[in-house]
Structure 1
Amino acid sequence: MTDADTTAGRPADGRDRDADGRARNARPRDGLGRPLPYGAAGVERQPEGVVRTAAETVAEAQALLDAGRPFHAHEVFEDAWKSGPEDERTLWRGLAQLAVGLTHAARGNVTGGARLLRRGADAVEEWAVVRGEDRPYGIDLAGLAGWARELAGRVESGPEPVDAAAEAPRLTS
């Protein structure tokens, strides 16, 4: 058997690699981004490294949030963070933190969810203050920060995971 051989979808050497040989976890994932066993049916993964316009980023992330897939929305924001203008990286990183905070809250990770929701709120508020702009690309940064802090408080006060689709924020208003 060679390293490329697989058993039930798992690489023989135990290491997933992309076409360029970089380490990539190829296990299927559920709607909240949790890895599933090799061979299990998962949801379609978000392609990585896609360059989108800001409007496309916001629209795609909103559709994923509305579908209860905040982990995947986080990946869309991460693409914008990594490929966008340097002066917007804090904005996109903050939005990614909000999405992953919702992901953790939906998975039942109280501490991680609340922490990332607050960190994302701080980041988007800081970006708005530094840039003097609170609605870039129509995104309601003040509304998102308020949503995140309120949700963080509820996550900490209740032991049940939140419903990601029901708690999805509106990025624009």
Structure 2
Amino acid sequence: MTDLLPVLPIMDLKPFIREIPDFPKPGILFRDITTLLQNPAGLRATIELFEEKCSHLNPDYIVGMESRGFIFGAPLAYRMNIGFVPVRKPGKLPAAVHSVEYELEYGTDTLEMHQDAVQPGSRILIVDDLIATGGTAGATAKLVQQIGCELVGCAFLIELKELQGRDRLPQVPIVTLVEY
């Protein structure tokens, strides 16, 4: 694909991510990506880094989870000239869906994808902003595999390594751009 804009030099994305102590509750250090999103150079560099690190996986589709997975997944799919498929919470998609229920700290939750979004055998790359405990990404991987697709990898802007979320994912390549 021919770039519409010149490629930016590789940059460190950490300076674009704001740290907010005690949010959403005391003792939590929140990594706020809104400061990255509002910076054109930082946002472009993020998408270009994802493309550079993931294009060799040759996905047919990018699957992004509601809602920040949409922010990075859709422009990455555009750059890679492939389709984007949203995964949403229950009741948000208007047609027939595949769904997966997964465990939370207290209770369960469900994720859904349109039944006609991808064909069995499609090569899928999961993209999201953050991997912490791996619950949402793990459930999305399970959903993709349950419908007969090949999960070729997962890509995250941020990985909170101490929470070991990648241990809840299948053994596929995992790309992270920033680690804490």
Class of the TM-score when normalised by the shorter of the 2 chains: 0.3 to 0.5
Provide TM-score, normalisation by structure 1: 0.33
Provide TM-score, normalisation by structure 2: 0.32
Q: Which has the higher strand share?
A: 2
Larger C-alpha radius of gyration, 1 or 2?
A: 1
